Structure 1
């Protein structure tokens, strides 16, 4: 039987590390990969340094394409999730009579910040309050009317670990005439992301968390049906169909998703993320997801239902278990710290996120820290 130790060869000892919703641990070989891919061509000082560096982005896009079940050409590197969302909003033509932007209050705040700033350009922001159950498509249906220009769905919410069934939501948006954007920052790598099955208009995400790719390795995916109508205003030489043409009198959008790329990109994040994703794909994302579910289920079976913030049903839950022990919360948190477990706390509760380099002993420690009557 394969154990987590077998899966985790070549990775740091993640014992007690339950912060994968914040930042996944990189492969032990990540530093060497960075040195070879970034500094190797750089110090070689030949005239083909960008030719060498471009292979990092090719690898990055190819690896992500396997994760999201689509073509590399429809993926564009981004600095962050929010930069991708900003690019969406500044690239599409106006639709007369449609000026509303819709998002759930539980979404990550920076996405809301992007939509809020967009109000300067005539948009109206509509936020679905926390009191409404956005796991129910009927809630979204009430908000998706003829005035909605764009709706942002979150696959897995960071503070509650609620996991939405995205395909029906994207169908609702399409039927209403609204543009759909899906944030997968908290799900990609630990829950299936399927661009073909979802048929969203755009997907934005990050490799920082479950893909263990580090900061700066964001991305956006563009539905091929939307691409021809996208003319981003934030462009640079890497948005060009031929970045190395260097003719100031001629600009032509790249024929694929790279039209969203902009100016000179950061090579290091792409190198690290590509190396990490390729390593995870060798293990198998299905195995990683199953391992995560098994560990979380150990806690969900043992803890009293009233202390469970994240959904009790596995299919509605992301890779994080969120606990709120009410009056015993501070005691529980201190017990976790004393046990050298790494976690964080939000107003909704304590967040615990095991990855493949965690094992049964980590979850047993969590359970042993529960206050006793």
Structure 2
């Protein structure tokens, strides 16, 4: 098989923690964007009706995916803007003089945002640290810091640095006893691991349509549960935040009664249009089979990594892990050179420092895992 053929078949694609692929993705996206272009460029007056219909398709597909009740989910440019919309909308009693609890292995962009908001909104950002030499924050350490002084806790469903999956049910049960609002960043797990906004019930959810959902950048989501939703007054607001978006009375602004209150200016419809094909593809898959395929390949990776002497930087227990596996590269190795060497062999992965991140998904195969380790043997030797 030629190198070009190898590059095209995706069998050694391990980047589902980043973008995500499914069979026919390029063709489906090209058709969706072409349809949008024809619609947007048509010499008629139906552009907005059709465009907003596509956005609504996106919202409904996402709502079904995570069990979000009608009117509790809307679009966002990304996870960071979704969290900003939520935090900037909360009633003062949830934040002022209280602590906002996060783990040190949260997605860094969210920590950057919260650290900047803390002084203005009057909360203390409390970051639960990693233990020395460990790759993820332990559930018990998170719980130990979670007392009645925590107004909001942001839990990471699956971490991007270790693929650690906390016991969400235990954390939410504890948070309810503490009287905190509880939000979950589901970005690194949704689409592979089951998630439902009511099992256990959380107050808000942020995510994107990348990773296991195989969508496009710019297609984030924000879910806010009732009754919290009705109390929120987003500071990032605009004409789409209203019940009637065509109300131009400057003195009569009123928030929409549902999650549309978290909208603001003209929405980014193009990202929704590009992601609807991926969401439709995902909706008709056998999700149990997708997870089983991932688990079979990650078990194979663990076995091969042990033979090569590469330490696991993810939980060994399958139930405490997302769909990715992180391996610790040897001291003195050059991560960038290793990634380049893999790419030359049509194997696609990435590194964070000396941590090699591997996420096998639908297009990845056992042959791809074998080629990964044949390449690593050659590069590391």
Distance apart, 1:328 and its partner CA: 7.3
What is the 5 A alignment of 1:114-153?
114-121=113-120, 122-131=122-131, 136-153=138-155
- How far apart are 1:189 and its partner, in Å? 0.9
CA distance in structure 2 between the partners assigned to 1:62 and 1:285 by the alignment: 18
Residue 234 (structure 1) aligned with residue 267 (structure 2): no
After TM superposition, list the pairs within 5 Å mapping 1:1-373 onto structure 2. 13-25=9-21, 27=25, 28-36=27-35, 38-95=36-93, 98-121=97-120, 122-131=122-131, 136-304=138-306, 307-327=311-331, 329-330=333-334, 333=339, 336-347=342-353, 349-371=355-377
> Partner of 2:3 in structure 1?
none
Q: Counterparts of 1:125 and 1:216 in 2: how far apart (Å)?
A: 27
| Alpha carbons 1:25, 1:212 under 8 Å: kept | yes
Paired residues in the alignment total 361
Structure 1: gaps (5+ residues): 1-11
Conservation of the 8 A alpha-carbon contact between 1:98 and 1:148: no
**2 CA distance for matches of 1:360 and 1:117?**
45
Deviation at 1:338, TM superposition (A): 4.2
Structure 1 position 285, deviation (Å) = 2.7
How far apart in 2 are the matches of 1:67 and 1:274?
A: 12
Deviations 1:22-68 (A, max 9, x none): 112362211111221x2232112322321111111111111112211
> Cα RMSD over matched residues?
2.2
Change (3 A) 1:142 1:98: farther
- Tell me, what secondary structure is at the counterpart of 1:198? coil
Q: Secondary structure at the match of 2:176?
A: helix
Q: Which residue number in structure 2 is paired with residue 7 of structure 1?
A: none
CA distance in 1, matches of 2:29, 2:217: 13
Displacement, 1:369? Answer: 3.3
> Which of 361-370 and 147-156 deviates more?
361-370
TM-score by length of 2: 0.88
Q: Distance in 2 between matches of 1:65 and 1:292?
A: 24
CA distance in 2, matches of 1:13, 1:55: 34
CA distance in 1 between partners of 2:351 and 2:13 (Å): 14
Asked if the contact 2:104/2:137 (under 8 Å) is kept, the reply is: no
